[in-house]
Structure 1
Amino acid sequence: MSDWFTASPTALVAVVLSTLGLYVVLIALIRVVGLRSFSKMSSFDFAMTVAVGSVLASTIITPSPPLLQASVALASLFGVQLVIAALRKHTSWAEHIVDNEPIVLMAGDRILYDNLSRTRVTESDLWAKLREANVLDPQEVRAVVLETTGDISVLHGQPDRVDLHPCLLRGVRDADRVDLGEDDYEGGTDG
């Protein structure tokens, strides 16, 4: 029990050195791979962030920090993320396997209870997200979408103003249940 509150100076120096070493390795990997490494654009990106944090934490606090193994593990994680990102960009099957499909939870002021049930989101969760998005009246809501990352997006505005543009719901399951404006967007697509 007394070991819980003490550590040798050598162990403390090892923690500091491994922290600095891993910090340098992490910065180098981020510079090579890019900031996308820690985005939450997909569920895979979120898993990557958690895995990197786990490697860092377990390496920093172990009694004999395996700095080389942790560096290789981090490089491997970043390498796998690069490969997955390239596959997602160039093939539809990889995107389909790796990513969840976003889904409409509210179409206008109508709650889609079947989709709430399917996604295991409660009505209380939904109301909390509407409050978080500063929705003052459910009639302001154009659509609520559960994104691939697990985040909930609330699209809202004055009901008598601009229609919700269809391009904002491309690739979203049950987008056809939402009242949309004219699809005149001529932007490019990924790939």
Structure 2
Amino acid sequence: MWFDTWSDIVRILAVGAAAYLTLILVLRLTGKRTLSKLNAFDLIVSVALGSTLATILLSSDVSWAEGFTAFALLAVLQLVITWTSTRAPSTRSVITAKPTLLLRDGRPLEKAMHEERVTLGELRQAVRASGSGDLADVGAVVLESDGSLSVIPAAKMGAATALDGVETSRPA
């Protein structure tokens, strides 16, 4: 079907523009976290927001007011969850994964890499991207809760206090 009616097109333009502006407003009100690097929870909220926007745009059965309510509900739920996780640290592990140590003192931790499904090639890529050419020059590589790999050069390890709270495994 190529075309139904002009009223459908006008509805999409009007409701779509209003829903888009509403989504921007909701994202700005909920703060930077909503738009930060995504952990699993943030990804779910982002996908739900996108799905809601698509539904508002394409379904004439969903009004702008219903879409706004859905946006607001998702934003409030995210604020409640993030507020709770910052004030009750024990709930944080339910919402986001802990960072995991994948390399220590130039040696890959194969057990941790296997558990996290990270290959030696991916580890080497992260080390190269950090500007290091040798694993021996790296003090630690951490798989962060958002899925990114953080590389700490051996020369900058210091007392390694940045690794507090990072899950560790023994070398395999």
- Superposed pair shares fold, TM > 0.5: yes
- Alignment match, 1:183: none
Matched-pair contact (CA < 8 Å) for 1:105–1:115:
yes
The answer to whether the 8 Å contact 2:49/2:74 transfers is: yes
TM-score (norm 2): 0.85
Asked if residue 124 in structure 1 is aligned to residue 121 in structure 2, the reply is yes
User: Are the aligned partners of 2:111 and 2:170 in contact in 1 as well (CA < 8 Å)?
Assistant: no
When the two chains are superposed, the root-mean-square deviation of aligned CA atoms in Å is: 2.3
Relative distance call for 1:110 and 1:71 in structure 2 (3 A) is same
Of the structure 1 ranges 126-135 and 87-96, higher mean CA displacement relative to structure 2 is found in 126-135
Give the Cα separation in 2 of the matches to 1:109 and 1:66: 57
The equivalent of 1:50 in structure 2 is 47
Q: Which segments of 5 or more consecutive residues in structure 1 lack a partner in the other structure?
A: 178-191
- Residue 38 of structure 1 contacts residue 48 of structure 1 at CA under 8 Å; is this kept in 2? no
Return the alpha-carbon distance in structure 2 between the equivalents of residues 144 and 114 of structure 1.
14
Q: Is the 8 A contact 2:52 2:67 kept in 1?
A: yes
Figure out how many residues of one structure are paired with residues of the other and give that number.
Answer: 171
Counterpart of 1:188 in structure 2 is: none
**Residues 43-52 or 103-112, more deviating:** 43-52
Alignment of 1:172-183 (within 5 A): 172-174=166-168
Structure 2: give runs of 5+ residues left out of the alignment. none
What is the CA distance between 1:65 and its match in structure 2?
4.7
* AA aligned opposite 1:80: L
User: 2:101 corresponds to which letter in structure 1?
Assistant: V
- Matched with 1:37 is 34
Q: Conserved in 1, the CA contact under 8 Å of 2:109 and 2:170?
A: no
Aligned to 2:16: 19
- 8 A contact 1:29–1:78 mirrored in 2: yes
The equivalences for 1:1-191 within 5 A come to: 3=1, 5-6=2-3, 8-40=5-37, 42-156=39-153, 159=154, 161-174=155-168
TM-score normalised by structure 1 residue count: 0.78
Alpha-carbon contact 2:111-2:169 (below 8 Å) kept: no
- Distance in 2 between residues matched to 1:162 and 1:122, nearest whole Å: 25
Asked whether the equivalents of residues 30 and 37 of structure 1 are also in contact (C-alpha less than 8 Å), the reply is: yes
Identity in percent: 27
User: Could you say what secondary structure the match of 1:32 adopts?
Assistant: helix
Distance 1:139 1:7 in 2: 65
- C-alpha contact 1:103 1:174 (8 A) present in aligned 2: yes
For 2:44, the aligned partner's letter is A
CA 1:50 to 1:167, structure 2 compared with 1: closer, same or farther past 3 Å?
farther
Give the 3-state SS of the residue equivalent to 1:154 in structure 2.
strand
